[in-house]
Amino acid sequence: MGLELFEEIAKSRADLALATILHVQGSSPRHPGAKMLVGSGGRVLGTVGGGRGEALALEACRRCLAEHCPELLKVEMVGAEVLGSDMVCGGVSTMLIEHLDPAPYRMALERLAMGERVLFVKRIAQKEPGQVQVEVRLLDEGSVPVFGCLDHLGEQAAVLTLDRGQPWLDEERGIFYDPVFPEEKLLILGGGHVGQALAVQAPALDFAVTVVDDRPESFTAQTFPEGVRTLVAGFDQAIAEFPFNSATYAVIVTRGHQFDLECVRAVLRRTYRYAGFMGSARKTRMVLDQVLREGCDPAKVAALCAPIGLDTRAETPAELANAILGELVAYRRNARILPELRRAREARRA
């Protein structure tokens, strides 16, 4: 669920209904976790796939607004005629339609604004045909309930879901686990060729991008995508003033090892989800050895992604940016390959 939906829920004074895809069998235009918010005034935000399926969801949301009764909606997309009106994606999509209590969503927005992940846990019980009951719980990123109690809703499953970052439905128990990420900030330290290539590619991956360099000329001839912030400042000052949190990704691609070392020292003092710097194996060892001698936390130093990026034999700035962003996505999604990436990095440092 995007932050704009939470913001709409938090500020709205109207009744709201929410359609959420819980489960998909076969092919579907949207996947579990996709949402559409419908207000009593007719405002619609988000999508559950468009076409006839979305029309049915809109109709169900309007019923929910009128009756305050949740329901489960199944949309079949198994039409056999390409010229017919039935959807032909080939799957069946199950959606939850619910009338919203804004309280847990406002609480979630507060946590997300601090850079924390949250997890919605919804128990969905079908009491009688056509009658659905929904219990909503909200957990913080430590899997501690902040709205409602977890009790029978599965602590271990909650921990695993937050770790993997993917919504899923426990069909047997009727429990939907829905993790939500905060806005993720990418701080690019260095406005050279690689930094510029990163700033061009990263917004498409939903990062809020800031590029820092101490040379005004780094930004004069470069056109950045709309929304990318550029800052001319000393690296140490910029890092000290940047609003780091657990949703911050720091990428160090300055023009020299002295500036890299300055950035590494400053970043290690902050809170972040990901940090790394670019360089050869020799440069990497020298920088890491230096900050260890200066008393930096050995665990944080060992966790730095250096040399940065997936080992794709990238050469050009665009290729290097692509390799770095691939690694960022792996950390965002807690990908299964992370242990392998760490072992490969240790080998590259040797």
171 pLDDT above the threshold of 80: yes
Output the pLDDT for position 307: 94
Give the Cα separation of 45 and 29 in Å (integer).
17
pTM above 0.75, yes or no: no
Element of type H or E holding 299: helix 298-303
Kindly report, residue by residue over 243-267, the tens digit of the pLDDT.
998 899 999 999 999 999 999 999 9
89 pLDDT above the threshold of 70: no
Count how many residues are written for the chain.
350
Q: Which CATH class is domain 184-349?
A: alpha beta
Give the Cα separation of 124 and 132 in Å (integer).
7
Give the Cα separation of 34 and 147 in Å (integer).
22
SS (H, E, C) 150-166: CHHHCHHHHHHHHHHCC
Kindly list the domain boundaries of the chain, sorted by start residue. Answer: 3-180, 184-349
Kindly report, residue by residue over 129-154, the tens digit of the pLDDT.
778 999 999 999 888 899 987 665 56
Kindly report, residue by residue over 276-333, the tens digit of the pLDDT.
999 998 999 999 999 999 999 999 999 999 999 999 999 999 999 999 999 999 998 8
In the structure encoding, which two tokens stand for residue 11, read together?
């500020």
Find all residues with CB under 8 Å of 129, minimum gap 6, and list them.
none
